[in-house]
Amino acid sequence: MALAAMFMMVPSPFGAVDYRAGAPMILLTLFALGILCVDLFLPASRKQYSAAPALLGLFAAGLATHEIQRVLPANGDALRGFFGIILVDPLAVYFFYLFLVGAALSILISVKYLEIERENHGEFYALLLACVVGMMCMAAGNDLVMLFIGLELMALSSYILVGFLRGNKRSNEAALKYLLLGAFSSAILAYGLSLFYGVSGTTNLAVLCDALTQRMEANPHDPIVLLAMLGVLAGMLFKIAAVPFHMWAPDVYEGAPTSVTGFMSVSVKAAGWAMMLRVLLFGLAPLRALYVPTLVFVALATLLVGNLAAITQHNLKRLLAYSSISHVGYMLLGLVASDGVTSRTGIKGILFYLLAYTFMNLGAFTVLTSLRRRNIAGDDIEDIAGLMQKAPMEAICMLIFLLSLAGIPPFAGFYGKYFIFLSLIETGHYALATVAVLFSVVGLYYYLRIANAMFVRTPATSEPVTVAAGVNLALIFSAAATIVIGLLPNIFIRAVDWSVSVLGPSVAQLR
Partner 1 sequence: MWGFRALRARAGHTAGVPYAMPQNYIPIFVFLLVAFAVAAGTLLVATIVRPRNPEKVKGMAYECGIEVQEGSRKRYTVRFYIVAILFVIFDVETIFLFPWAVQFKQLGAYGFVEMIVFLGILVLGYLWVWKKGALEWI
Instruction: Give the binding site for partner 1 (CB under 8 A).
Output: 3, 6-7, 9-13, 33, 36-37, 40, 83-85, 198-202, 204, 206-207, 210-211, 214
Q: Provide, rounded to whole angstroms, the least separation between the CB of residue 17 and partner 1.
A: 13
Min CB(207)–partner 1 separation in Å: 6
In the complex with partner 1, the residue whose CB is nearer, 3 or 431, is 3
Closer to partner 1 at the Cβ: 36 or 507? Answer: 36
The C-alpha atoms of residue 352 and residue 458 are separated, in whole angstroms, by: 37
| Cβ closest to partner 1, residue 146 vs residue 400 | 146
Least distance (Å) between residue 35 CB and partner 1: 11
Please, are residues 276 and 335 in contact by the beta-carbon 8 Å criterion? Answer: yes
By the 10 Å C-beta count (0-12 exposed, 13-18 middle, 19+ buried), 456 is classed as exposed
User: 3-class secondary structure for 309-365?
Assistant: HHHCCCEHHHHHHHHHHHHHHHHHHHHHHCCCCCCCHHHHHHHHHHHHHHHHHHHHH
Nearer to partner 1, 36 or 467 (CB): 36
Are 412 and 482 in contact by the 8 Å Cβ rule? The answer is: yes
- Residue closer to partner 1, measured from CB, 37 or 311: 37
Closest CA to 144 of 75, 90, 211, 73: 211
91 near 139, Cβ under 8 Å? yes
Question: Smallest distance, Å, CB 194 to partner 1?
Answer: 11
- C-beta of residue 60 within 8 angstroms of C-beta of residue 27: yes
Nearer to partner 1 among residue 36 and residue 301 (C-beta): 36
Distance of closest approach, residue 210 Cβ to partner 1, in angstroms: 4
Q: What are the backbone dihedrals phi and psi of residue 86, each rounded to the nearest 5 degrees, phi first? A: -115, 145
The partner residues of 87 in beta bridges, in order of sequence, read 80
Which residue lies nearer to partner 1 by CB, 214 or 312? 214
Closest CA relative to residue 277, chosen from 215, 353, 224: 353
Please say which residue, 34 or 504, places its beta carbon nearer to partner 1.
Answer: 34
**Least gap, CB of 200 to partner 1 (angstroms):** 5
| CA atoms of 104 and 108, how far apart (whole Å) | 6
Does residue 409 contact residue 152 with C-beta atoms inside 8 Å? Answer: no
Q: Are 467 and 475 in contact (CB under 8 A)?
A: yes
Question: From the CB of 142, what's the least distance to partner 1, in Å?
Answer: 9
Question: To the nearest whole angstrom, how small is the minimum distance from the Cβ of residue 84 to partner 1?
Answer: 4
